[in-house]
C-alpha cells in the first residue's frame, strides 16, 4: 500500500517542489509573483503536489509505528534550516501531543504526518509514548485501567 494519489502526480511534483522552495524563501519581499499560500502552512486543500513535496515523495516508511493516539514529545528545539513541518511539530510538542492532534494542527492527513514523525524519531528529535491499552485489538483492557477511566469520567 502506498499513500493515496502521490504516485500518479510524481512527475509534476518535482517542479512544484522547486518553485515552492524558491518563493517561500523570498516571501517577505512581496514580489508580485509570490503565491500567497507559499508562505502559509500546508493545508488539506493543498494539491497532491504539495503533499508530495512535504514528504519528499515518500509514501510509507516504518511510520506504522505511530498510532493515532501515540503521544509525541519533542526532545530538541527546532534547528535552523529544518523543514518547516518538522520545526512546527517540535514547537507543538513541548508538552505531549497525540499524533492525531499534530495532524489536525498541521492540516495534513494522518498518513503524511506519520512520515514526518518517523523522520524526527529516526534522528532522535522526538520521543514517542505508545498506547498500552490493548496490545492485541481483540484483547480487553485491564479492569484496573478501566476503573481509572471511570473515575476520571465521573470527575469530569
Partner 1 sequence: MASATSDQAPRTQRHLSRTADNGLKIVVVGGFGVGKTTLVRSVSEIRPLNTEETMTRAGEGVDELDRTSTKTATTVAFDFGRISVDDRTVLYLFGAPGQERFWFLWDRLFSGTLGAVVLVDTRRLADSWYAIDRLEHHGTPFVVARNDFGDASQHTDAQVREALDLPEHVPMITCDARDRESAKGVLIKLVQHLYALSTAARGSTHQ
Q: Does 75 bind partner 1 (CB under 8 A)?
A: no
Q: Does 103 bind partner 1 (CB under 8 A)?
A: yes
- Report the distance separating Cα 64 and Cα 117, nearest Å: 10
Helix axes 110-122, 99-106, angle to 10 degrees: 110
Q: How far is CA 143 from CA 20, 133, 146, 151, in A?
A: 52, 11, 5, 12
Q: Does 41 bind partner 1 (CB under 8 A)?
A: no
Q: Does 68 bind partner 1 (CB under 8 A)?
A: yes
> Least distance (Å) from partner 1 to the CB of residue 97?
7
Q: Does 65 bind partner 1 (CB under 8 A)?
A: no
Backbone phi, then psi, for 71, in 5-degree steps?
-95, 130
Footprint of partner 1 (CB under 8 A): 1-5, 44, 67-71, 94-98, 100-101, 103-105, 109-111, 129, 131-134, 137-138, 140-143, 145-156
Amino acid at each position: 500500500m502506498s499513500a493515496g494519489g502521490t504516485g500518479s502526480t510524481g512527475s509534476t511534483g518535482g517542479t512544484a517542489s522547486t518553485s515552492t522552495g524558491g518563493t517561500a524563501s523570498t516571501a517577505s519581499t512581496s514580489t508580485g509573483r509570490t503565491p500567497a499560500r507559499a508562505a502559509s502552512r500546508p493545508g488539506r486543500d493543498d494539491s497532491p503536489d504539495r503533499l508530495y513535496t512535504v514528504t519528499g515523495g515518500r509514501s510509507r516508511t516504518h511510520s506504522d509505528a505511530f498510532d493515532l493516539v501515540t503521544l509525541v514529545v519533542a526532545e530538541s528545539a527546532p534547528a535552523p534550516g529544518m523543514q518547516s513541518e518538522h520545526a512546527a511539530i517540535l514547537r507543538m510538542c513541548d508538552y505531549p501531543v497525540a499524533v492525531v492532534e499534530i495532524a489536525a494542527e498541521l492540516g495534513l492527513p494522518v498518513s503524511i504526518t506519520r512520515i514526518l514523525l518517523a523522520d524526527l524519531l529516526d534522528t532522535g528529535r522526538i520521543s514517542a509514548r505508545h498506547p498500552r491499552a490493548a496490545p492485541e485489538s481483540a484483547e480487553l483492557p485491564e479492569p484496573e485501567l478501566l476503573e481509572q477511566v471511570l473515575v476520571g469520567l465521573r470527575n469530569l
